[in-house]
Structure formats: structure tokens, C-alpha cells
Chains A and B, each alone.
Chain A
Amino acid sequence: MRLDCPICGNRDRREFYYQGDAVMLERPAPDAGAAAWDGYLHLRANLAGETRDLWQHEAGCGAWLVVTRNTVTHAIHTVELASAVKEALR
């Protein structure tokens, strides 16, 4: 498996650290309530198909990335800077 880091280019999987669902970028408001926080912290869909996950180019540029890939076909669709994704959410 290889990922196209937007900064470094195409790199081997061993340079990257996997964190988990990119939903972590969408932190609820402090007063959003217990259900929203429970969902944000603990509940994951675990779909077979397209997922969006956070990875870090740990042994490269250090950037956090959002990787959209398909867990059924193993296709990797996009690799974006998490900072840009977060900016777009604002």
C-alpha cells in the first residue's frame, strides 16, 4: 500500500501512522449534549466500503492527512491535508 502525500509525494505505507475515523475533525460544541459527545468519542459505523480516516505522515513531513479509501476494493481515492479539510469545515 502506498499513499500520495500532498507534500512529499507517493510514499510507502511504513512511513505513515494510522489514527482512525476522520470524524475526529468534527468536534461537537462543548454544550452539544451527552448523545453528541458519546457518538463523537465512541460510536463508529465500521462500514464495508468507503471510509475516511486520519493518517499522519509520521516519518515524512509530519502532516496529518485525511485518506478516503475503500475497504472492500482497497482503492485509495483521495489524500488531503487534514488542515485543509478542517479549514473547509469552518
Chain B
Amino acid sequence: MRRSFKIVVLAKQVPDTRNVGKNAMKEDGTVNRAALPAIFNPEDMNALEQALRLKDRFPGSKVELLTMGPPRAADIIREGLFRGADGGILLTDRKFAGADTLATSYALSMALKKMNPDIIISGRQAIDGDTAQVGPQVAEKLSLPQITYVEEIGELCNDKFTLTRRLDNGVEVVRTPFPVVITINSSAPACRPRNAKYLMKYKHARTLTEEQDNEHNSYLPLLSLDYLRITEWSVSDVGGDESSYGLSGSPTKVKKIENIVLQAKESRRLTSEDKDIDELIKELISLHTIG
């Protein structure tokens, strides 16, 4: 029996927190988010690769991305298209703003109900929060099983997938039916590069918002081809309970943000000169810290 799947990849645009350099700091010592590049969350890239591999293995399958964010997060969908995805949806609405993981999962799950996929794949966690909560919460909201920390999607047998999970202390192989939510670890294979053919094809893909933006339509031709339209959904498109979205749907609140002022200890400054190092070692030996 030939099978094909409808696969949705959950992907997030995140500030690149891995290298918060000095130029990303404001005068007052806080982080200047605007100075950080917005990137495709790394583990969501691993997730995209797993989805594309399923599409390669099961011809006729379709891969779509689903992302929630501001209008510029349309970049996430384009990046997916350039690498072999078939389409994507951007959930964007002021009413989604201020969402914690629970309100985010609610929004994603409402969109997923409309998309109705067989397999949902996301990265294990996003680097701007490292919470790893959205995958399991989406699964719960859709009453689906969740398989987290997955490194490999293996064989399909009797309508069940064999998945390998990579945990701190070893490996676990599980078998699951679908629909299912799978979260992928960074230890899974990296994503394939952009494909020149798709880059040409989707170069002008954009959302309606982008098209209405002056900067864009001044010199680009009007969209005549359907596949170049990136779909945007707002709260009214996905329906559901308005108060469950965004800030009002978020049980967790930030009470306080403190900037770090490192407490200066009484520290002794030393140079790399032999004399300094020698004295230090003698002192540590006499304190029985070493030796």
C-alpha cells in the first residue's frame, strides 16, 4: 500500500541568543534585542530535515510550516520553501502577542486543527527560552501522543513509526501510531541547504502584509501565482476562545526583571607573569585547595 503524509513543521523565529556580543548591550546594560539577528530556531531546522526526509521516502507527501510571530516571521516560511517545503502558514495578530508557552500552544493547536496533519514535527526547544514545553502542550491540546527528544524517524510498519529517542543517559526506541507530535533533538542530522531551483521559484513568495508594504510593491510585479502567496492567519481565521490567546491566555506573568549586577567579590588581580602565578600556586597549596 502506498502511503503519503501531510506533515506540519512547527518553527519559530528567534533572536540569536547564542552570541550576545558587547554590541548587543545597551548603555544601561540591558540587551538590545533589535541588535540581535533573527534566525530560524536551530532545532526547528533539524525538524524540517526530518519532515523533508519523510517526503522523500513517501512520495506524494506534503510538508508545510506553521509559525507564529510578527509579520517578518514570514522569513521562516520562505526559508522552508527554499529547502523543499510545499507551503506554510504564518499566525500573526496583535492578539497573539505576549503569549507564554501555554497560550502559544493554544494558538498553534487551533491552527493545526484546521490544517489537520498526520504528523507534526518541531524542534525540541527554542534557544530564546529553552523551555521545551510547546511540543508536549500542543500534543495535549490535540489529544495526541508526543514523542520528545527524537533523533531518528525509522521504519513504518503496520501504520506505526519506529522512533529513536536520545536521552541524557542513553537511547530509547519506541513505536507510535499517528497522528503524533514529534520533537527533534539537535543530535539529529542537520538540515539540507537551500536548493537553487526552489530559491528561484519562491524568491518572490510573500504575505499580503508584505505586499501591501510600500517597500515591496514599488518594484515587484503583482502576485499572479497562487503558490507565491504565503498565507497569514489571524485569531478570526483560527477561531477559538479569544481570551485564551496572547497575554490574557497566559497563566504565567513576569513579576520582575532584574538586570544582573555581578556582585564583586574581593578579588585579587594577577598578571600572567611567572612571579604572580608562582605565588598563587604556593598560596593554594598552603590553603590545601590543591596538592
Q: Do A and B belong to a common assembly?
A: no
Residues of B within 8 A of A (CB): none
